[in-house]
Amino acid sequence: MPRDNIPKTALKKLQQFFTKTLDTNNDGLVNWTDFEAAIESIVSQEDAQKNARLKVLRKRLEQHFQKYFWDLCAVGDANNDGNIDLDEWLDVMNDIIGGLKEKNEFPEWYEGLHKALFRANEFLDERAVSKDEFANMLISWDIDESSAEKAYDFITEHGQKKMDYNLFSEFMKKFFLNETPKHPLNLGLD
């Protein structure tokens, strides 16, 4: 399948995003095991057993991630093996980027993942996420702190805009659409 919507300059960034944020065990595949590891890194089972609020948060996160994983498999698992390899993921991203170029919106199933990731964090005020909170969220995705801080400064115009879910979603759209090498939106992945 041709990937006409993915600029050659963005291919490395997307490959790095797959490897760092999705393929948590570095086996070249994304499967439910990777999502379980991500859930554990956000809210550990041990912490959830000790705290009712964290237990609810973990349960919701599991439900959102499970839905996203099965939606991803339905859209992208070309060989029906229950895994998403890099080529399958790039095909999915080609379609997502095409949709962003046309309508500037993510498919509903993909937007759900971003909402779950954003809301799974312990923000003091999710309508005004601080630079440190934003950086901590991205560090949990294996993005280095300096790159996360530069991205925050760029997207918030050095704090002039409040980082809330809508701005985070806008950030993710710009991340996938940006073709400029070494730009803060690339999170150091290029």
Q: Classify residue 2: in a domain, yes or no.
A: no
Confidence of residue 2 (pLDDT cuts 50, 70, 90): confident
Q: Which of these ranges, 92-96, 122-126, 183-187, has the smallest mean pLDDT?
A: 122-126
Evaluate if residue 39 carries a pLDDT over 90.
no
Backbone φ/ψ region at 182: left (φ over 0), alpha (ψ -120 to 50), beta:
left
Distance CA 78, CA 90 (A): 12
Asked if residue 108 is part of any domain, the answer here is yes
**What does the alpha-carbon distance between residue 136 and residue 149 come to, in Å, rounded to a whole number?**
10
Do residues 75 and 92 make contact, with C-beta atoms less than 8 angstroms apart?
yes
- 140 or 30: which carries more pLDDT confidence? 30
pLDDT at 117 over 90: no
- Tokens 């490897």 correspond to 19
158: domain CATH number is 1.10.238.10
Is residue 163 assigned to a domain?
A: yes
Which range of residues forms the domain containing residue 27?
Answer: 8-186
CA gap 151, 18 in Å, rounded: 19
Residue 182, Cβ neighbours under 10 Å: how many?
Answer: 7
Distance in angstroms between the alpha carbons of the first and the last residue of the chain: 23
Asked if the structure places residue 165 within a domain, the reply is yes
Count the domains in the chain. Answer: 1
1 within a domain of the structure (yes/no):
no
Length of the chain: 190
With vertex at residue 85, the alpha carbon angle to CA 79 and CA 91, rounded to the nearest 5 degrees, is 80
pLDDT digits (tens, 9 = 90+) for 91-107: 999 999 999 999 999 99
- Whether the pLDDT of residue 1 is over 70: the answer is no
Instruction: Please state the rounded mean pLDDT for residues 14-18.
Output: 93
Instruction: Specify the pLDDT at position 21.
Output: 86
**Is the pLDDT at 44 greater than 80, yes or no?**
yes
Confidence label for 122 from pLDDT (cuts 50, 70 and 90): low
The pLDDT > 70 percentage for the chain reads: 98
Q: Is the dihedral of CA 120, 121, 123, 129 positive or negative?
A: negative
Closest C-alpha among 38, 59, 27, 13 to residue 178: 13
pLDDT of residue 125: 79
Looking at residue 41, its pLDDT comes to: 82
Mean pLDDT of the chain: 91
* Residues paired with 30 in a beta bridge: 84
Q: Is residue 3 situated within a structural domain? A: no
Say if residues 102 and 177 touch (Cβ distance below 8 Å).
Answer: no
Q: Is the pLDDT of residue 113 over 90?
A: no
Please compute the mean of the pLDDT values over residues 70-98 and round it to a whole number: 95
**Domain for residue 120, yes or no?**
yes
Task: For 159-172, write each residue's pLDDT tens digit.
Answer: 999 999 999 999 99
